Amino acid sequence: MRKLVVGTFVTLDGVMQAPGGPDEDRDGGFQHGGWLVPYFDEAFLGSMTEWAKRAGAFLLGRKTYDMFAASWPQSTDPADEIATALNTRPKFVASRTLHEVTWNNSHLLTGDLAEAVAKLKAEEGGEIQVHGSSQLLQTLFQHDLVDRLRIWQFPVVLGTGKRLFGEGAIPRAFRLVDTQQTATGAVLHVYDRVGGLQYGEVEVGQETVIFDSDPAHR
């Protein structure tokens, strides 16, 4: 069974919109596009390259697919491992508006999206990576389809924009399995899903902390 892995860049207040450029995504009048760029360095690029090498396939929303398909096919240097992965490995596109996809080895998902993704996960192969695709992510979170989060967090606050977790995400617990930091102050957190939440109660003046895994007892 394949793992579905979300790789994303977020601000301290959880915004993931348009990290790479001013015109990447202006939905909602967003004016902070390109907020990640001042923190880009070799360590960050190296991490992204390692991620790409692990991908067995990519799962993309329409906007991210359109943006990637317009740029990555122009990168033909075989030494560029990110471009090689994106240009050659399967890309599955979640869209209700596209009728065809022409980028090499691209495939439109049809029917119920959650069911289609679950079928992809049931196959053998390397991890299925999701990059960008904020709207698609909300569906994946709502149907508990995400196995791992690779979150690069940057020391900026925007106060507005599309956030990684929107309304409707299923309450879930994750375990931190790796962390890294770059010289520019960006921090990578890698989390694996571990299941439902635990709840508890801290009693003032008591040393004992009581945990309860049943949310009905909150």
Distance CA 208, CA 118 (A): 41
The pLDDT of residue 204 is: 73
Distance CA 133, CA 60 (A): 6
Task: Report the pLDDT averaged over residues 57-64.
Answer: 96
Confidence bin at 210 (pLDDT 50/70/90)? low
The pLDDT of residue 201 is: 84
Q: What is the 3-state secondary structure (H, E, C) of the chain?
A: CCCEEEEEEEECCCECCCCCCCCCCCHHHCCCCCCCHHHCCHHHHHHHHHHHHHEEEEEEEHHHHHHHHHHHHHCCCCCCHHHHHHHHCCEEEECCCCCCCCCCCEEECCCCHHHHHHHHHHCCCCEEEEECCHHHHHHHHHCCCCCEEEEEEECCCCCCCCECCCCCCCCCEEEEEEEEECCCCCEEEEEEEEECCCEEEECCCCCCEEEECCHHHC
In this structure, the number of other CB atoms found within 10 A of the CB of residue 59 comes to: 29
In this structure, the number of other CB atoms found within 10 A of the CB of residue 119 comes to: 12
The pLDDT of residue 200 is: 87
pLDDT digits (tens, 9 = 90+) for 158-205: 999 999 998 888 999 999 999 999 999 999 999 999 989 988 888 776
The pLDDT of residue 208 is: 61
Q: How many structural domains is the chain composed of?
A: 1
pLDDT digits (tens, 9 = 90+) for 97-119: 999 999 999 999 999 999 999 99
pLDDT digits (tens, 9 = 90+) for 74-102: 999 999 999 999 999 999 999 989 999 99
Q: Which domain holds residue 31?
A: 4-217
The pTM of this model reads: 0.89
The pLDDT of residue 157 is: 98
CATH of the domain at 162: 3.40.430.10
* Size (the chain), residues: 218
Distance CA 85, CA 136 (A): 21
Buried b (16+ CB within 10 A) or exposed e, 180-190: eebeeebebbb
Output 169 or 129, whichever has higher pLDDT: 129
pLDDT digits (tens, 9 = 90+) for 143-153: 999 999 999 99
